[in-house]
Chains A and B, each alone.
Chain A
């Protein structure tokens, strides 16, 4: 933010005084957008807190059907992708084009691995009939090996409502994030970024960190809660 970005080849939009002016304004816009994301996910977290208070047992039993190893693997993948994203911004600023593109490509790959693992988890649950709310069709006999002698609460489907709503909306954000990173990667390939102009990479990076951060909360709340 402190580095001067004026006098470069980049032409700022007509209503700004300088590229620096455009940069700080855009960044404020991105942060405000992140606030809206936090408030939107906030609604889900509040719902979680309330129903965890009323029905603690459904979360205790429900989380038995999640595999903490897969969740932990996804946590590592996303944390790693945040690191490569940060490097992508760093190399964009330094105008080290091929390294920037490589880092952004690894970030997209991490996103794809995350979604791949999610796909495995989802198909396992769908196979058992562990679907949200009124779509829930699981046969209690097939669940015994997961829950042992724990009693299956009658409104267990609500746990899966939370599971699918929270991870689903988060997953959509991962996909959108991958799309946005692909967009800045293509622009990085064209050599559009450098010390004077890297606003889109940084904005997309901030978004990707938020997506990562939300998962950091989802992992314990859905996988480790028992």
Chain B
């Protein structure tokens, strides 16, 4: 580390941010760090749009009956909230932004294996988003982000645009995954064996395998859905002899592994944060690394739990129920190892660590309620109620978004060479964490009381808990505004951070902040594991 900072002093002003200048140099950049920043900006903008739709939904649900919009507009808001958040925020969120920036740095590489494909992946995301949002000009899609047939094959052009947008965005995900698998295999620095790569890289690698193997199935599913709309090919249309449940099988064959595309990278971020802010070697490195691969493997065999009540055979249901519970094992292995890492650590409660601890708390609730839903007997009651909504928001927001926020505040000094005001960042955590529980915990209760999801209206007896939930949503909104302010303030007025403000041990912290064009002045030689604290 010492040699890294001396080297950086010599090249003090030369870094990836000023290596080239002008907007054009950013739009044509092949530098993985700059592409990571492009993804940061893009994902942040889509998060803002998806978040506004979320607040519109919650505002409408503040009171029973019509509050601010019609039932049709409500259904559209719900669709755009889901589709934008899933396809354009959470899926690219960690891999394509933080992963792009830090995977090559953590393994001591100069770039990803295929920089041009990396840039192309960003254009695929932008192009996909443009096509998807064109659907607004055709009255807007109202199918929900899952595009279930037969409703989605009613020849509405808006649905076709939305579906093709998701299809194009899928290539972005495939290209990122392909790049990460090859980069991890082929571009590790000398001495960086597979048992020395940081756990963030292990998580991204496991994610990348899912991205490469599952996304093509979504591609053909969406293509068939578009063809169903245009040609009436009949595969999914019961009127033409097709099977709408087949669409659900196809869709979830991708989209269930896809939830691990969303959460596995978050596990990776949390592994980095917990060990860095406990100042202690991670407990159970091997177990955490291989549990990522185990989750990736099992993820392909659990899709049927979305169809317990869709008419699939009971035997299939039993097998899928069992396999789904199996996912709980490697996930619990991770959580227990993180807890063991905290034990007797010198815990530093900076904002990134608060987010990591918040993740552990919320994700555990999200995970355990997942077991409720994996159990067929209880799922028959909870299916399509707010219990499911609460469960996956605990996993996706309480899990992935907390990890993104923690990761942003952890790596901000490395990305921009400046410090974020920790107090402001902690306030953002406070509002998001509190607001999150106020929003979604009542939804567990509402769901078990039987309130159905996706509906524009509800019975008056659900009103009190819905009002609580809406107030919580505004708190989350305030939290993200504070978080965004912390980032902007850090960019404009942040104090210089130096190469390693947290005293972390992984390779990216040995080079200057912001990193030079090719990441390291000299090729790093690795002689030890990633978390040599004590």
Contact = CB atoms under 8 A, between A and B. Distances in A.
A14 B110 contact: yes
Interface string A21-51: 1001110110011011101111110110011
B186 A21 contact: yes
A47 B224 CA distance: 10
A158 B234 contact: yes
Interface of B: 109-115, 117, 174, 178-179, 181-182, 185-187, 212-217, 219-221, 223-224, 227-228, 231-235, 240-243, 246, 250, 518
Interface string A153-167: 011011001001100
A132 interface: yes
SS class, residues of chain B in contact with chain A: helix
Interface centre among B111, B178, B228 (most CB of A within 10 A): B178
A29 B217 contact: no
B213 A15 contact: no
Nearest to B242: A158
9 contacts: A16-B187, A29-B113, A36-B213, A41-B220, A43-B217, A43-B220, A157-B234, A161-B234, A165-B224
Contact of A42 (B174, B217, B241): B217
Given A39-B217, A132-B233, A133-B232, A29 B246 contact: no
A134 interface: yes
A158 B235 contact: yes
A14 B231 CA distance: 48
Contact of A37 (B185, B186, B216, B227): B216
Given A15-B187, A133-B240, A157-B234, 4 more contacts: A13-B115, A14-B110, A25-B182, A33-B178
Contacts of A146: none
A161 B235 contact: yes
B172 to A, nearest CB: 13
Contacts of A155: 234, 240-241
B187 A132 contact: no
A149 B174 CA distance: 49
Nearest to A155: B241
A174 B125 CA distance: 26
A135 interface: yes
Contacts of B213: 35-36, 39
Given A36-B215, A42-B217, A133 B178 contact: no
B186 A24 contact: yes
A55 interface: yes
Contacts of A134: 231-232, 234, 240
